[in-house]
Chains A and B, each alone.
Chain A
Amino acid sequence: MSEEHKEYLRRLKRRSMLIKLAQAGLLLLFFGLWELFAYYEIIDPFLTSSPSRVINSIYNLYLSDALFIHMKATLAETMLSFALSTFLGTLIAVILWWNETIRRILEPYIIVLNALPKIALGPLIIIWAGAGKKAIIVMALLICIIITIISMLTGFLSIEKGKMQLLQSMKANKFQILYKLVLPGNIPTLVSVLKINVGLSWVGTIMGEYLVSREGIGYLLVYGSQIFKLDLVMASTILLCVLATAMYLIVALAEKIIKRMY
């Protein structure tokens, strides 16, 4: 290795170290200033809470066993709606890919459903699915599934024509074309759909919990704001950040593993 290249690598390393340090520093600065300003009452801790109050609030939740109950409830709803919407959306996309007539018939309905803000269906969902977990999952499912269908279908339909013809010339039937070409060829599409859905399923679940719930982080958020306990609201927000990021990182890791195969 030449001296010049060593120097280049050193510079590269230094730079990424610097960025990591700055990232950590920014976090510390933010929480430090927040704590400090709240302590000297430059900002009103009743409205803004403070890091120490947030930690205290989380600790209290932990002591009363509520922490895990709420986290578990939200996490379960999110993961269930995430998995369901990905699976059902892909399944529907397969059906639409398979049959052009059905696809053309349903096209305008999908466009309307995609344009509609799904939250508007909240009251209907509550009446139909009951004011409980089911309604929350249906809400999140609805938010994710339409975009899943559209993305997957676009992926399925954009498979290269030459590859189709190759299989057809081998006398492949449609089912073989599906599982030898269309599905494996769209794993990258699926991964990008997973990344979108990881975010959307959180949106759906929290929105659902705003509408109806007796537990969950969305419930804590609404409850905290109603009784004006901003400590609780801030604590819930931070919990949510941690959980959503964790789930996103898992999907990103899955993407890395899959990308290596492609």
Chain B
Amino acid sequence: MSALLTVRNLSLIYHSPDAETEAIKDISFDVRREEFVALVGPSGCGKTTILSLIAGLMKPSSGEILFEGIPVSEKAYATALMPQRDQLFEWRNILRNVVLGLEISHKKTQKTVSYAHELMEKYGLGGFEKKHPSELSGGMRQRAALIRTLVTSPELLLLDEPFSSLDFQTRLSVCDDVYHIIRNEKKAVLFVTHDIGEAISMADRVIVLTKRPARIKNIYTIESDKALSPLQRREKGFAEYFKKIWSDLEVTYV
């Protein structure tokens, strides 16, 4: 299968008045169609920075990011970012939050809005269109944030520690929820997490990064039944991957 996203020799140097810091060094990987790829690494290693580069929030110092062979900067709306915490706007109701991306890209038409309605209906937010974010549970807010990324019909979703603000129990169920929705919509995902368990239970491949400057330490292909939910996947073979990735990270902590 050909790659949807290709990251080649990506490097980034941060400039501050005191010094320049190498944040990312020579990272290459790809994401295939409908593939789940997780980026794990010690905190502060630059995982989120990689997502920001792909989302076009900053420019790399060197290297290239291609989307179906074309520089991602020239391809608007090929990717969509789901930021840390849901970042729903409290002054907008859920429907207006969900269609935010359509408004920004001037694509808010009857067709796209009815698609938004359809997604909300399909994923348990039907009837909540007029509610405000504070009236929803954490899990529902997360779903609304996910639908917000889906309505612009991107091929690749970029998830930045999407569950970090949730408590453990909600987190497991929301994780299942999000996994199911994205599989169902046949999207590719690149997601950043510091939770090894989350990475193994959701991803097809896990990319382990070193501490700063971030480099690729190891890439694991997770062999498991795609029909299983992340929670179910926390059983067979899980511990083995966990140990391997843990030891990768442990070495980098020293």
Contact = CB atoms under 8 A, between A and B. Distances in A.
A48 B83 CA distance: 66
Interface in B49-70: 52, 55-57
A181 B89 contact: yes
A170 B100 contact: yes
A170 B87 contact: no
B84 interface: yes
Interface string A149-175: 000000000001011011111111000
Contacts of B52: 165
Contact of A171 (B84, B87, B100, B104): B104
Interface string B147-183: 0000010000010000000000000000000000000
Contacts of B103: 180
Nearest to A258: B91
B91 A166 contact: no
A52 interface: no
A185 interface: yes
Given A180-B100, A187-B91, A262-B90, A170 B83 contact: no
A174 to B, nearest CB: 12
Query: Which of A160, A163, A169, A262 has the most chain B CB atoms inside 10 A of its CB?
Result: A169
A171 B76 CA distance: 8
B86 to A, nearest CB: 9
A176 interface: yes
Interface residues of A, number: 19
B152 A261 contact: no
Contact of B89 (A165, A172, A176, A185): A185
28 contacts: A160-B87, A162-B83, A162-B84, A162-B87, A163-B83, A163-B87, A163-B89, A165-B55, A165-B57, A165-B81, A166-B87, A167-B100, A168-B55, A168-B57, A169-B55, A169-B57, A169-B80, A169-B158, A170-B81, A170-B100, A170-B104, A170-B105, A170-B152, A180-B100, A180-B103, A184-B91, A187-B91, A262-B90
